[in-house]
Amino acid sequence: MSEKLYPHLLEIDRAAREHMDAMLPRVMEAAGVTEELKACNPMRWVGLMNALKAQAEEIIFSELIWT
């Protein structure tokens, strides 16, 4: 009714995307996910990327959404 929900949701979405963009390269480096791995074993790369993205999303959800 006060029209504050949509701007708030946009801000949460923006913060979550920024957090993901900052976090994903760090966890990729820590896990050893490289372009070389992508070239020589694409299925393993996809599996690792899916797992890392899911882990990062859980962290972001716990920090931004479920608090």
What is the tens place of the pLDDT at every residue in 25-55? 999 999 999 999 999 999 999 999 999 999 9
Per-residue pLDDT tens over the stretch 13-23? 999 999 999 99
- Please enumerate, as own/partner, the contacts of 46-53 that have beta carbons within 8 Å and a separation of 24 or more: 52/24, 52/27, 52/28, 53/24
Total number of domains constituting the chain:
1
CA proximity to 51, closest of 27, 35, 34:
27
**Which pLDDT score, from 0 to 100, does residue 66 have?**
82
In a domain, residue 49? The reply is yes
Any idea which of 1-5, 22-26, 54-58 has the lowest mean pLDDT?
1-5
How far is the first Cα of the chain from the last one, in angstroms, to the nearest whole number? 23
Q: Is residue 46 part of a domain?
A: yes
Write out the residue range of the structural domain in which residue 56 sits.
5-14+27-65
43 in any annotated domain: yes
Chain centre distance of CA 47: 15
pLDDT at 51: 97
